Chains A and B, each alone.
Chain A
Amino acid sequence: MVDQICINKALLDGAKEVFETMVFMDIAEATEPDQKIEGWALLSSITFKGPFEGCLAVCCNVDCAKAIAEGMLALNLEEVGEEETCDAMGEIANMVMGSVKARLQNEIGNVEVSIPSVVSGRSLQNNLGDGSVKLLTRINIQNEYIAELSLLYRESRN
């Protein structure tokens, strides 16, 4: 079985690379484990399949998602609408997945990745069912927002 610490590091490092390079925002692992995402949230997830299958997701509240869109697109907050916000969240998940995949290629082999999907609501979370591993990392974005990075996976059943 793949080392979970190694995967967790890849997830965090991958997210840092994406946020710093494409969104111009600093992220760090949240120091308080009980920090939660409050209010209406967006969950952007992307699935993968290969020797391992699962999904990676980025979840944050709407204000955080709008700030991400603002950073990615170099827009003012007033210019950031629902479409831009969802699009930006989709791209974040897509790029974090790409970054994680590149870091773990030797451990998990080549995986095919889906198109990201974005949903909104409260208390959002992904579930892969029995026999899967769930890694959840809370991150602090710009010392202002909380987001959750999750990676659920299991060995392929094919």
Chain B
Amino acid sequence: MANSLMIVDDSATMRKIIMRTVRMSGLEFDRTEEAGNGEEALEKLGAEPVKLILCDINMPEMGGPELVRKIRQMPSCENTKIIMVSTESSQEIIDSSIADGANGFITKPFTPEQFQQELAPLLN
């Protein structure tokens, strides 16, 4: 799995912002994918897994928490890292995401420096 990234968010604007922030953080990916909800993400991951997923929490069809639980049941995504990206900041939500299988949590608004700090260790 080369350095590959999937951004999962129901807002096309937010997906563009996240992509821009990833570029500004200096992180490089050989392949990037986008999905508008959990179901779309699962379909794409079934075809080809990625190394890192940046995932929103509140989405239609399938939200972030359910997506994370389903990914953790997929052998092909065993090494995939998942970071939740959300406006939610309560410790309860963060702890719940980690318990589901996420590797970390970034709260909106975010900076390129935060992305570098959180994501770089997961890619090395």
Whether A and B are associated in the same complex: the answer reads yes
Using a CB–CB cutoff of 8 Å, the interface residues on chain A facing chain B are 17-18, 21-22, 69, 72-74, 84, 87-88, 90-91, 94-95, 97-99, 101-102, 105, 110, 113, 115
- Assuming the contacts A18-B109, A21-B109, A102-B107, asked whether A95 and B87 have C-beta atoms less than 8 A apart, the reply is yes
Using a CB–CB cutoff of 8 Å, the interface residues on chain B facing chain A are 11-14, 16-17, 20, 58, 86-90, 92, 107-111
Q: Contacts of B110 on A, CB cut-off 8 Å?
A: 21-22
Residue of A nearest to B88 (CB): A98
Q: Contacts of A73 on B, CB cut-off 8 Å?
A: 13, 16-17, 20
* Contact partner, A21, options B12, B90, B111, Cβ 8 Å: B111
Chain A interface helix/strand/loop/mixed: helix
* Contact partner, A91, options B17, B86, B88, B90, Cβ 8 Å: B17
Q: List 8 A-B contacts (CB under 8 A).
A: A22-B108, A74-B20, A87-B12, A90-B11, A95-B108, A98-B86, A98-B88, A102-B89
* Contact partner, A98, options B12, B20, B107, Cβ 8 Å: B107
Q: Contacts of B11 on A, CB cut-off 8 Å?
A: 87, 90-91
Asked if A95 contacts B109 (CB within 8 A), the reply is: yes
Asked if B13 contacts A91 (CB within 8 A), the reply is: yes
**Alpha-carbon distance A102/B110, docked complex (angstroms):** 14
CB distance from A4 to the nearest CB of B (A): 23
Q: Contacts of B16 on A, CB cut-off 8 Å?
A: 73
**Alpha-carbon distance A95/B87, docked complex (angstroms):** 6
Q: Contacts of B12 on A, CB cut-off 8 Å?
A: 87
**Alpha-carbon distance A97/B58, docked complex (angstroms):** 15
Q: Contacts of B90 on A, CB cut-off 8 Å?
A: 105, 110
- Assuming the contacts A87-B11, A95-B87, A98-B88, asked whether A72 and B17 have C-beta atoms less than 8 A apart, the reply is yes
Asked if B14 contacts A91 (CB within 8 A), the reply is: yes
Q: Contacts of A115 on B, CB cut-off 8 Å?
A: 58
Residue of B nearest to A17 (CB): B109
CB distance from B19 to the nearest CB of A (A): 10
**Alpha-carbon distance A33/B108, docked complex (angstroms):** 30
Asked if A87 contacts B13 (CB within 8 A), the reply is: yes
**Alpha-carbon distance A88/B20, docked complex (angstroms):** 14
Asked if B13 contacts A98 (CB within 8 A), the reply is: no
CB distance from B12 to the nearest CB of A (A): 7
Residue of A nearest to B10 (CB): A115
**Alpha-carbon distance A98/B11, docked complex (angstroms):** 16
- Assuming the contacts A95-B108, A98-B108, A102-B107, asked whether A72 and B87 have C-beta atoms less than 8 A apart, the reply is no
Asked if B17 contacts A98 (CB within 8 A), the reply is: no
A73-B17, A90-B11, A95-B109 known; 5 new pairs, CB 8 Å cut-off, are A74-B20, A91-B13, A98-B87, A99-B109, A110-B92
